[in-house]
Amino acid sequence: MVLELVIGGELFERIDFKGRLSEIEGRKLFQQLIDAVGYCHDKGVYHRDLKPENVLLDAKGNIKISDFGLSALPQHVRGDGLLHTTCGSPHYVAPE
């Protein structure tokens, strides 16, 4: 396995070290996150553990999603269209 070196660190570390994002930077990163998650979903990959610690920043400040260890593929989806396993980080998991 070959992985890209992402030297910008985690989004969590960025927020923890420098404080909150400006509105412009937040919008930029959120749009990139939406695009990345949409791409994964279009390919049938469901991350299931998105959190600031799993969003990396490259040298130009663009995001890279990491840690697909809990991800699910289409064969994990049951007949009702849902995944029936609980996983993820409790502070970030959706309540439903």
| Residues assigned a catalytic role | 49
Beta strands at 55-57 and 63-65: parallel, antiparallel or unpaired: antiparallel
DSSP 3-65: ----TT-BHHHHHHHH-SPPHHHHHHHHHHHHHHHHHHHHTT-B-----GGGEEE-TTS-EEE
